[in-house]
Amino acid sequence: MASHLQPPPVSKNARGHVRVTSEDRRRITALRRSTKGPLDEVDDPLSIASPTSPELLSPETYKTQSLSPRASLSLDVPKDFTFLLEPANFTPLSTPLLKHALSDSTSSLSLSDLLATGRFHTAAVRAASDLSALPPTADAATILPLWYVRLASLTLIHETTIAAQESKILGDLSSPFYRLPPIEDGPGEHIVPWGLRVLAVRLQALGFGEPRRGLMAYYLLASDAREAAARARASQRQAEMRLWQTRLRELGVLVASALVEMGEGQAAARHLRSLKGRGREEVGMEILTWLRMGDLSAAAACLADWENSSEGEDKVDEDGFVSKVLKALIATCEGEYAAVVKDWQALHDEYPDDVMILQNLAVCQMYTCEMEKSRDAFEKIIADDTAAVFPSLLFNMASLYELSSENAQMLKTELASRISASGPSGEERTKIELKL
């Protein structure tokens, strides 16, 4: 018998399969809706009587349901995490655009400081070198948070492809290998931080080229969250219950995002409509999904339904901000730009501090031959708060520079240094966003 538990096997399907191109969407079927899904909220009064409610299950049933027999071995045998520490796990990163991002001053900063100051490139490198330097006896509580920093930082600096490849090393995070021995009122505690469990879903789906695997993984997490919330409620741990409910709600949004990423917009819209406590946020998400699909009448119908609905938390939109912005977006997709520029201008006059509205006005002005005004608007957003620039703003600026000069490269570099001069935050991210 092996003295150590082996790392969780990657599912055979995932390894042995030829990579499925994500373009072929014909074989991806929409999720079948069950009458009661794991994403439903736990405070549903019916859930007490639900057969999957954990308090109705004996510990025996519970074990056979969610734990493989091998898990019992972990009571005595230490787990071997050395496969997570191999230096070969980590792909070297190309150097960032701005040199001072690599300056010596960062070497004295702790990993937490690097994250707090937005030095995600350096943080990704540091996490990998810290992991490689750990002794083989290092425990999960040391290793896994560093993995989270590594993968999260990579996604923030747009190195998602590398993050997706590296995430495969973690293997199946739902396996018993990643749990403590079972306890009396439920399965053993998960040793992987929640953020890493959630983040790994999308990265592994990308890494293995199987988006549907990601959907299933979200539903597994949701069923865990639902059980944990039920246990917390049963033992009156209010704060913990609310935490799990928040996580459950977040998973609901992640499923919708994953469906949109797969090109299954209609399924995403149906899913969003099925979420409990659907409010203006979910209505906004559904309308954006319809616009992305190009189904403008469905978008308009969704907005009209919501505006006409008379009660419930659906209706919280005091000054009509949500309605007005969504209407302007639908009109933008109709393509009557001269009228749309007026809509966005009126919104900008009403909400002068909203940068989303100002950016949308600037983009539409490009479609009405008003490039100068457009550039002024973009420049205003940057001048107002250089530290708070956001990716799509930089992308739009880069496109505008490319259109308006032979020396776009120079203008972009100048903008990049203006941004980095305002503070370290984001300085390492601008390279891709500015198409440099």
Partner 1 sequence: MARARGQSIGEGLKTPHTVSLKVLRLTRPSLAQQFPLPKANSDSVYDFSPSAGLAYPHSTPLATNFLLTPLLTLPESFQSAYVGEVFSCTLSANNELPADDTARSISGVRIAAEIVSPSNPSGVALDLEEPVTPASSSFAPGASLQRILRLNLQEEGDHTLAVTVTYTETAVGTEGRAAGGRVRTFRKLYQFIATNLISVRTKAGDVDGGRYALEAQLENLGERAVTMEAVRMNPKSPFTSHSLNWDMPGATQTDAPVLQPGDIMQVAFLLEELQGEDTGQEVPASSPAADKRFILGQLNVQWRSAMGDRGSISTGWLTGKKR
Q: How far apart are CA 355 and CA 359, in angstroms?
A: 6
Q: How far apart are CA 154 and CA 124, in angstroms?
A: 6
Cβ neighbours around 298 below 10 Å, total: 18
> For the window 274-313, what string marks contact with partner 1 as x by the rule CB under 8 A?
------xx--xx--xx-xxxxxxxx---------------
CA 170, 172, 177 angle in degrees (round to 5)? 90
Return all residues near 36 (Cβ < 8 A) that are at least 6 apart: 46, 50
Number of residues lying near partner 1 (CB under 8 A):
92
Q: Is 229 a binder of partner 1 (CB under 8 A)?
A: no
Q: Is 223 a binder of partner 1 (CB under 8 A)?
A: no
Q: Is 325 a binder of partner 1 (CB under 8 A)?
A: yes
Stretch that binds partner 1, among 48-56, 82-90, 173-181, 348-356 (CB under 8 A): 348-356
Q: Is 14 a binder of partner 1 (CB under 8 A)?
A: no
Report the b/e string of 151-178 with b at 16+ CB within 10 A. bbbbbbbebbebbbbbbbbbbbbbbbbb
> Least separation, in Å, of the C-beta of 248 and partner 1?
9
> Least separation, in Å, of the C-beta of 416 and partner 1?
18
Q: Is 379 a binder of partner 1 (CB under 8 A)?
A: no
Cα 276 to Cα 27, 106, 314: the distances in Å are 29, 46, 11
Q: Is 246 a binder of partner 1 (CB under 8 A)?
A: yes
Q: Is 155 a binder of partner 1 (CB under 8 A)?
A: yes
| Positions in 31-90 near partner 1 (CB under 8 A) | none
With CA atoms as reference, report the closest residue to 321 among 273, 281, 379, 288.
281
Closer of 41 and 354 to partner 1 (Cβ): 354
> Least separation, in Å, of the C-beta of 96 and partner 1?
16
Q: Is 364 a binder of partner 1 (CB under 8 A)?
A: yes
From candidates 115, 170, 215, 230, binder to partner 1 by CB under 8 A: 115
From candidates 119, 231, 233, 247, binder to partner 1 by CB under 8 A: 247
> Least separation, in Å, of the C-beta of 72 and partner 1?
25
For residue 232, give both structure tokens: 């917390």
> Least separation, in Å, of the C-beta of 9 and partner 1?
25
Stretch that binds partner 1, among 42-50, 60-68, 364-372, 412-420 (CB under 8 A): 364-372
Q: Are 199 and 155 in contact (CB under 8 A)?
A: yes
From candidates 102, 134, 220, 253, binder to partner 1 by CB under 8 A: 253
Give the gyration radius of the chain's Cα atoms.
Answer: 25
With CA atoms as reference, report the closest residue to 41 among 226, 227, 221.
226
First CA to last CA distance, the chain: 55
Closer of 5 and 123 to partner 1 (Cβ): 123
Q: Are 188 and 179 in contact (CB under 8 A)?
A: yes
CA 76 to chain centre: 37
Stretch that binds partner 1, among 10-18, 64-72, 167-175, 393-401 (CB under 8 A): 393-401
CA 402 to chain centre: 30
Closer of 118 and 171 to partner 1 (Cβ): 118
| Positions in 179-208 near partner 1 (CB under 8 A) | 193-195, 198-199, 202
Cβ neighbours around 136 below 10 Å, total: 8
From candidates 360, 377, 415, 420, binder to partner 1 by CB under 8 A: 360
CA 83 to chain centre: 26
From candidates 118, 176, 187, 214, binder to partner 1 by CB under 8 A: 118
